[in-house]
Structure 1
Amino acid sequence: MSRGKLRIVQVVLLVGIFVVWQLLTDPELIPPFVWPENADRAAFFFGEPVKIFKVIWEWFSGGEIYPHLWVTLQETAMAFVIGSVLGLAVGLWLGLSPTASAIFDPYITAMNAMPRVVLAPIFMVWFGLGMASKVALGVTLVFFIVFFNVYQGVKEVSPVVLSNATMLGASRRQLLRHVYLPSATSWVFSSLHISVGMAFVGAVVGEYLGSAKGVGYLIHMAEGAFDINTVYAGILVLTAFALILDFAVTKAEKRLLVWRPTQGETEPL
């Protein structure tokens, strides 16, 4: 299937989902046998796509959503950058230091096993309800993803490459710059999609648990008012926002890792 036909099928499938959703939740359109005696409750529990898109249109046309999206974007970007830098630094350090790795391994394993969401209330006590607590939660989610990828990347460096570089007189700093760091960076970029997604999750979850701005805050307020259409509107906006971030990461990955062969490429004979 060509790319154009694939996009058409995907769009038709998406439209079909919303059409069926509308048919099953609109009290005037829903068949009586689908929700016997509860047809009027379907819209309350599952929302109506027409009203959901109306809420989204009002958000964007009136400009209400832009300050909240901007806050969520800032929290996501800061959590992603800080978590990635810390994960890269600690992963390189422990990957190149077997003694430090042996000492800190049980502690890192224990911290990684801890559900980070439970740290959100603690961060709110420490940093307040502003952006700092959301960034801190996002950093804890991003850090371990980047750390383990970098750590594994350092361990996977080819011994042949190390031996050849050492025989050519490479110093420890040159090995770090020209061998270990490129290998670790490649592993970091391979986890970019997961990392930026976790940063986004940390920001939204933090906003949902306690904040005064952000899309997560809008969803939380709508949930408190039992406004299911606004809740779904916030979820759809977050989904579209996450897809845009993933698209940006894909473009950056292709540009920065242009040297890496793609699937199906072979070396010339």
Structure 2
Amino acid sequence: MTVIDDSPTARAGAKRRGASLVPASLRLAIDRMLLLVILLATWEISARFLVDPLWISQPSLIVERLWRLGASGMLWVHSWTTIKEAGLGLLLAFVVGVPLGIFMARAKYTGEVVEPFVMALYSTPRVALAPLFIMWFGIDLLSKVMMAFSIVVFIFILNINEGLKTIDKDLIDLFRTMRAPRHYVVRKVLIPWIEPWIIASLRLAIGSALIGAIVAELIGSSSGLGWYIEHSAGRLDTTGVFAGIAVLVVIAVLANAAVGWVERRRLGWRR
């Protein structure tokens, strides 16, 4: 004879087992999508009944505008221009900033000498320098790349420098005691140690690189999402402004998702 336990404790345990059948990643994705739908629905209702769409536009109008831009091909033109500017600035900042951060951490005295100057440059609002970049490098691709580079490079320098300062010195001494070659120490100790700092820097740098490219486009450009946003704002086209912002958000989300994938591949052992 089979005895069925119908107590509250048993029912609660059954609910927990049923809930565990849904993967945590899927449940998280569903909850995020639900929150997005709620926010967009609230925005749409507010624009229809509470606030003049001239000021906040509407999600439905933004989707319609994006569809028209995509059909005409201009969505790709403007998006690719901004992606290229921000991506090249980010790449250049990575190539320059990571070695400089390592150098400042390893050459301690030199690092202490230049650190106040680095912090002074980092604290300078690059938006104020944007007109100079236009004067120096013109209104073409180079000025946008340099603007993005000037914002992002300090993120890499300061994060890598700080990351190497926290390295376990006993571990370095152990390898030296074993007379390990310098390149072996770099490959087995230094690089794995600063990998989390590099990935964290990339997460911060993505948004900063986009900001640099957009600011440069706002000041002088003939294409790009920043140009499209400024052009729409000049015509009081709120829908166009939000359409450009929406594309920027999508680009940033996809770029961060790519960095997250790299992080899971390289640093999955930390989870």
TM-score bracket for the superposition, by shorter chain length: 0.7 to 0.9
**Is the aligned partner of 1:108 residue 2:108?**
no
Task: Provide the rounded CA distance (Å) in 2 between the counterparts of 1:139 and 1:169.
Answer: 39
Per the TM alignment, residue 161 of structure 1 is displaced from its structure 2 partner at its CA by 1.0
Aligned to 2:270: 262
**Is the aligned partner of 1:85 residue 2:113?**
no
Task: Provide the rounded CA distance (Å) in 2 between the counterparts of 1:16 and 1:181.
Answer: 43
Question: Please, which runs of 5 or more residues in structure 1 have no aligned partner?
Answer: 264-269
Per the TM alignment, residue 211 of structure 1 is displaced from its structure 2 partner at its CA by 0.8
Q: 1:47 to 1:70 in 2, by over 3 A?
A: same
Question: Please, which runs of 5 or more residues in structure 2 have no aligned partner?
Answer: 1-18
* Partner AA of 2:158 in structure 1: F
Q: 1:3 to 1:169 in 2, by over 3 A?
A: closer
TM-score by length of 1: 0.86
Task: Provide the rounded CA distance (Å) in 1 between the counterparts of 2:224 and 2:119.
Answer: 32
Give a deviation string over 1:80-127, Cα, whole Å, max 9, x none. 111012111111111111221122121112111111221111111110
* Partner AA of 1:262 in structure 2: R
Per the TM alignment, residue 221 of structure 1 is displaced from its structure 2 partner at its CA by 0.3
Name the SS for the 1:217 alignment partner.
helix
Task: Provide the rounded CA distance (Å) in 1 between the counterparts of 2:200 and 2:34.
Answer: 31
Give a deviation string over 1:230-269, Cα, whole Å, max 9, x none. 11111111111111111111112222x14x5233xxxxxx
**Is the aligned partner of 1:213 residue 2:223?**
yes
TM-score by length of 2: 0.85
Task: Provide the rounded CA distance (Å) in 2 between the counterparts of 1:126 and 1:54.
Answer: 39
The sequence identity of aligned pairs, in percent, is: 28
Match of 1:17 among 26, 39, 43: 39
* Partner AA of 1:6 in structure 2: L
Name the SS for the 1:261 alignment partner.
helix
Per the TM alignment, residue 46 of structure 1 is displaced from its structure 2 partner at its CA by 1.2
Task: Provide the rounded CA distance (Å) in 2 between the counterparts of 1:252 and 1:102.
Answer: 33
Match of 2:166 among 149, 156, 167: 156
Preserved contact between residue 150 and residue 185 of structure 1 (Cα < 8 Å): no
Name the SS for the 1:121 alignment partner.
helix
Preserved contact between residue 199 and residue 259 of structure 2 (Cα < 8 Å): no
- 4+ runs deviating over 6 angstroms: none
Aligned to 1:266: none
Report which stretch shifted further, 201-210 or 85-94: 201-210
Per the TM alignment, residue 177 of structure 1 is displaced from its structure 2 partner at its CA by 4.1
Paired residues for 1:1-269 under 5 Å: 2-26=24-48, 30=49, 34=50, 42-255=52-265, 257-258=266-267, 261-263=269-271
Task: Provide the rounded CA distance (Å) in 2 between the counterparts of 1:225 and 1:147.
Answer: 41
